[in-house]
Structure formats: C-alpha cells, structure tokens
Chains A and B, each alone.
Chain A
Amino acid sequence: MIPVRLVDQARPEIGFSVDGQAVTARQGDTLLAAILAAGLGRVRTSEFGDGPRAGFCWMGACQDCWLVVEGLGARRACSTLAEPGMKVIRR
C-alpha cells in the first residue's frame, strides 16, 4: 500500500523527518500523503493493539490520523501540509 504519485507531481522537493528518519516529500503534500508515499506504511499505531493505522477519510472527519509535530503539537496528518524541516513523531 504505497500511494502512487499520478499527476501534478513536478513540485519542489522538501525534506522533513518522521521519528528521526529523513523523508523527502513534495511541496503541497499533506503529512498523510507524504508519509505514505515515502513507504512508511502508517501514521500511527492503534492504542488498542490492533495494529497500524493510516487514517480513513482524508478530510479531517474520522480523527484516525493524529500524530505529533514538534512545536505544533497533535495534528491530523490529512489536514496538515508537510513543511521543510518539520519533525514528526508517530504514536
């Protein structure tokens, strides 16, 4: 499950980190798109032990893609754009 970059992907590259690991994204990627397209496979782990999660609705409604951005606190990955230098921590 790695999203396929289909169209409109000639945007400038930006770098940020996820759990300390360097990730390359494109300007305008949401954190959800950037993390999944980088092949990281999840944006969080269910606190109830049922495994990895990567959101569902992509529109800020289902609340299943929360992660932490250093300096910004808890954010929905689907409604937060990746910014250069961001430090993301998955739960």
Chain B
Amino acid sequence: MSVVVVGAGPAGVRAVERLVEAGIRPIWIEESPDGGGRVFQKPPPGFSRDAKALYGADASRAAAIHATVARLRAQVDWRPGTLVWNLRPGPRLLNTQGPDGTKAEVAYDRVILCTGAMDRALPIPGWTKPGVTGLGAAQIALKAQGLAIGRQVALCGTGPLLLLLAWQLTKAGAPPALVLESAGWARTLRAAPGLAWNPVGALRGLAWRAALRRRGVRIRTGALPLRVEGTDKVEALVWRDARGEHRTEVDGVAIGYGLKPETQLADLAGVPFSFDGLQRLWLPERDRAGRTAVPGVYLAGDGASIGGSVVAELAGTRAALAVIEDAGGHVDPLETDMIHRRLWLEARFRAALERAFPYPAEHAAAMPDETLLCRCEAITAGELRGTDAPEVNRGKAFTRIGMGRCQGRVCGPAGAEVLAAARGCDIRDVGRLRGQMPVKPVVMA
C-alpha cells in the first residue's frame, strides 16, 4: 500500500509518526526545505536563537515537532523542497516538482493532505506597495529572518495572532507603532464564556494586551485600516475607529484577518465543499477522523479547517489512524475516543474565537472601487462590481480576478464579499473559485 502524506507541519508530522509506528513507510512530501510548518518554522541554517526565543510558550511543542521530524526522516521516503502541483483522483496520482525542478508522478493508495493555511487578506487601496505584508508574513519575517518589516510598523488584524506578533516584536526590540484590532470590546466580551473553554489561551491574550499597554504600545479596538499612502513605498496608514478617521505615519503595514486553509489539492481531488458560516469560508467536507467522500483522500490540520497547531497535531494522528483502520489494521478505540473528545473541546474554543474575532466582511465588501482587489492581475474591486457576474467563477471569466499566479488564494474571500454585496445576495450564493492545476506555478523544462 502506497501512503503519501503531503505537508510536514504539526498535522503531517503526527500523521507520519503514527503511520511509521504501524509499520508503514509513507512518502512524505514537504514544499519547504524542512519540517515544522509555518507555526514552527525554523530559520535557515546559520541562525542561532533557541526554541524559547523563537516560539515562546510553545517552545516545547515546537522542539518536540522538530525532533520528531528529525527522527522520522530516515524511516520514510522524505521529499523536502517538493511541490505537489496536481492531484488526479481517478488514477490516484500526484504530480510533484522537486527542488531542482524535476517533475515526478507519485502514485498513492491513500493520501493525507496536511496543506496548512495562509493569511486571510483584507485588500485596501495601496496594499500592493512594498512594505505591506500579511500579518503571518510579518511574523515569518521575525521568526525565520530576524527582521521587522519596517521601523514604524502598523499591525492590522484580529484575534490571537495580532497581539502575539505585537508582543513578539516588542520583545525583539521593535514595538509596533500601532495595533488595529477590528473586533470591538463588546463582541469580545460576548464571546468570553466560550473562550473559557481554553482558559490558558484566553489568559495569554489578556496578558499580551496588558504587557503591550505597559510598554506604551498603541492598541485600538474596533479599528480598521482604510488605505496605505505613499508613492512606491509605505508612508502612512489611514485608519478609522469609533472616534473617526486618523492618519499615522508608518513605513510598514501588516494586514491579516485570521487564516484561510490551503484547500486547492482537496478541490482537485473532488472533495465536496460546504460553507462554514463561522469561518465564513468554503471548507472541504470530512468526517471527524479526516476521511473525505473521495476514496483514499484524507484531510488534517489547518489545510482542512482552521483550528491551530494543537488541533492539527490531534487531527494528523487521527487521520493516520483512519488510514490504518481503513487498510484493515487495528486501532485502539480508547485512543480515537480520547482524540475526538479533545477535538470537540478545541472546537468549542475555536467557535468562540471565530465569534469574538470575525473576518471584517462588511469592510471588505465596502472596499473602494479603486482597490486593487486582485494583486496578480491588478484588477480593481470596481471592475468586479461592474460585471453582471452572478457568482465568482463568472466574475473570474469576465475580469480575470483569481486567474493569476496565486489562483485567487489571496483575493478569493474578499472578492466573494465584494461580489455578494454588489449582487445583494448572501455570500454563499456567489460560490467559490474552483481550483485549477497547477496549484502553484511550475517551472517548464
């Protein structure tokens, strides 16, 4: 039986670990040069900060994931630096591109997709200028490169990553000039009972906020970025809160409103999607073990639904157990029960987080006409509004939105908000951009 695991973040690592324990030697494909995923991304060789400095309170979990990757590499067919750019569910084949550009076909009987997530963007006028990055991007700059994206940086977003990054930058000696949290206090308080499902996580957020306030970091709640000003670089951020419109001179802006799963391979596999009203995203359907309706295709981690790294580890283990079970192996029902219970608890907390820190959908829907909604093809929100497209794939055909190199990864969710508002319909009714291969650009020989 050929088992393939795509991705070496927390979900992929735990999936492979469990497969190896069961005597299976999977093919393990990771796009980065090393494992750990984005959450536990390691700096390239030559950097010297230890796990505590890099991952803070999660240092021991990060170290455990890295040690597990190091141990497992020799026991599997490890293929780092390798992109899976297509998945064909009929013949059960993956198409890959290795680090030197070499193409290969990889056959699978069962594949676990642990494809991770990326920043969910909120396009605003000026956001294509050098100096504007995703919020997660600004964290990667710090974690993997030891950099702040500018000298005076504004962080715009919502939820735990916003304050965590603000605190990490402050500790590294570069406190942000401005932190804009889109959610208001009232909303956060309403969600407070649900946040108590994870008291440690909830308290961490409060502690970061208090520490930032003590250091004099300017945090505004119920605040949203309006536009980035400057010619060829960031000179100022114009933003608004309940008190009105403000302009702050900055040279860097990071924007990220939660995460969105990288679902392209699940889409190519033909996994059915359904709309998740809480995350306000289309997500591939799977059972609690990670099985999908497509034979041999399993999903785990943030690539299936945003749950964070703890959930990803549990879901990776669970998906591997499903593979083992479906292949006729023995699985301890006590262990699967325990995983299901922990996943259920985490899901309660996640739901409360989504309620407390929602995607600012109305702000996205109301973006000014001149906003370059699609970065790849430089298409404005006004151009999309000007079509009579009833759903996003027609909008794509008419305007090229989502047809560029990123395939709508970046503009997709905001574009759907714009189109739904323009049509006066529910976000569900404009559908979702269908995935196309190659899921990322490949080098032609």
Contacts and interface: CB of A to CB of B under 8 A. Distances in A.
Interface string B364-395: 00000000100111100000000000000000
A12 B410 contact: no
Interface string A1-31: 1111111111110000000000000111110
B251 A8 contact: no
B294 interface: no
Contacts of A9: 146
A84 to B, nearest CB: 13
A38 interface: no
Interface in A37-80: 37, 41-42, 46, 48-64, 66, 73-74, 79
Interface stretch (B44-52, B64-72, B194-202, B213-221): B44-52
Nearest to A29: B145
Contacts of B405: 63-64, 66
A11 B49 CA distance: 12
A88 interface: no
A48 B443 contact: no
Given A8-B146, A28-B45, A33 B378 contact: no
A6 B174 contact: yes
Main secondary structure of the interface of B (DSSP, over half): loop
Contacts of B430: none
A79 to B, nearest CB: 8
Contact of B151 (A4, A49, A58): A4
A89 interface: no
Contact of B148 (A6, A10, A48, A66): A6
B133 A33 contact: no
A54 B130 CA distance: 5
A86 interface: no
B147 A37 contact: yes
A2 B101 CA distance: 32
Contacts of A54: 130-131
Most buried by A among B48, B130, B232: B130
Main secondary structure of the interface of A (DSSP, over half): loop
A50 B378 contact: yes
Contacts of A42: 130, 232
B387 to A, nearest CB: 18
B133 to A, nearest CB: 6
B56 to A, nearest CB: 13
B252 A63 contact: no
Given A1-B131, A51-B128, A6 B46 contact: no
B89 to A, nearest CB: 23
B44 A81 contact: yes
B409 A61 contact: yes
Contacts of A58: 133-134, 136-138, 140-141
25 contacts: A1-B130, A1-B150, A3-B149, A4-B150, A5-B146, A6-B173, A7-B53, A8-B146, A10-B48, A11-B46, A28-B43, A30-B144, A33-B145, A42-B130, A46-B128, A48-B377, A52-B232, A53-B130, A56-B121, A57-B410, A58-B136, A58-B138, A58-B141, A60-B31, A64-B375
Interface of A: 1-12, 26-30, 33, 36-37, 41-42, 46, 48-64, 66, 73-74, 79, 81
Interface of B: 31-32, 38, 43-49, 53, 101, 118-119, 121, 127-134, 136-138, 140-142, 144-151, 172-174, 231-234, 251-252, 262, 372, 375-378, 404-406, 409-410, 440-441, 443
Which 6 interchain pairs have the tightest Cβ spacing?
A1-B131, A54-B130, A48-B378, A63-B405, A58-B137, A28-B46
